[in-house]
Amino acid sequence: MVANRTSADGGMETSYGFRDVAEGEKQGLVNDVFHKVAKRYDIMNDVMSAGLHRVWKDAMIAALNPRKDPDYRTLDVAGGTGDIAFRIVEASKRLAHSTVLDINGSMLAVGQERAQKKGLGDNLTFVEANAEELPFEANSFDAYTIAFGIRNVPRIDLALSEAFRVLKRGGRLLVLEFSEVQMPLLDRVYDEWSFKAIPKFGKMITGDAEPYQYLVESIRKFPNQKDFAVMIETAGFSKVSFTNYTGGIAALHSGWKI
């Protein structure tokens, strides 16, 4: 049931979950997934992670420790419905600015609606674009964040080199992603939950199990903590490190452009 993880040498661009797809095909399939789930995405996140995604996202923002400064500019890539950008702005006492970038207009539409309801509109800009080709000048941002997004991007090496390009010198990269469970028993419980329960809940809540089958499979194909750290270093980042959350179910990778 469980496929091998992708190595640091790449290969994610031709894997759609456990299926091999042609080069250039993955992005369209991923976009279909997020168009389908956008309206129920936030509810499903709580169900799938039993609320833990909130704890991991809070920990990511604590690690970032955003400056309380109107000149502090962050870019949240694959920002979807806005969870990370909202937290950054709130942690900066509503002083910082965050650009939420996503390739999927349906996810961004939900994010924009949530931002308006929270009164955060002035601190946020929403941009529909591809992480592999960022529409920003070099050296533009103090921080680049991406949460549960990078494994969906076909060419991860391109996304990381774009992250490096748009960050200012001294800027910080933070990547939150599902990773390899490092605790013996927990990995078995987690497999049962992922492959048996999550697609069923997905069908109950969104009417379709397939997007959630992809999501759990894509988690298992993503490079493990060490291999992903190598990919970040290869893109040019320094002082690369990672912290496991909940036994490695998720991991936060950090790197600096110096």
Nearer to ligand SAM, 76 or 180 (CB): 76
Nearer to ligand SAM, 109 or 183 (CB): 109
User: E-strand spans in 13-96?
Assistant: 15-16, 19-20, 73-77
DSSP string, 47-71: HHHTTHHHHHHHHHHHHH---S-TT
Nearer to ligand SAM, 79 or 223 (CB): 79
- The residue at minimum Cβ distance from ligand SAM is 80
Per-residue contact string for residues 24-63; x = within reach of ligand SAM by CB under 6 A: ---x--x---x-----------------------------
Cβ atoms of residues 94 and 68 within 8 Å: no
Q: What is the DSSP letter of 93?
A: T
Residues numbered 94-133 forming contacts with ligand SAM, rule: CB under 6 A: 102-104, 107, 130-132
Give 74's strand partners: 98, 143
What CA–CA distance (Å, rounded) separates 228 from 211? 24
Sole binder of ligand SAM in the list 152, 194, 206, 218 (CB under 6 A): 152
The two tokens of residue 102 are 């996503």
Interaction of residue 175 with ligand SAM, rule CB under 6 A: no
Sole binder of ligand SAM in the list 149, 171, 202, 255 (CB under 6 A): 149
What CA–CA distance (Å, rounded) separates 176 from 107? 18
Interaction of residue 85 with ligand SAM, rule CB under 6 A: no
From the CB of 77, what's the least distance to ligand SAM, in Å?
Answer: 6
Beta strands across the sheet bearing 250-257 = 124-128, 97-102, 73-77, 141-147, 167-178, 250-257, 238-245
Interaction of residue 231 with ligand SAM, rule CB under 6 A: no
Residues binding ligand SAM (CB under 6 A): 27, 30, 34, 77-80, 83-84, 102-104, 107, 130-132, 147-149, 152-153
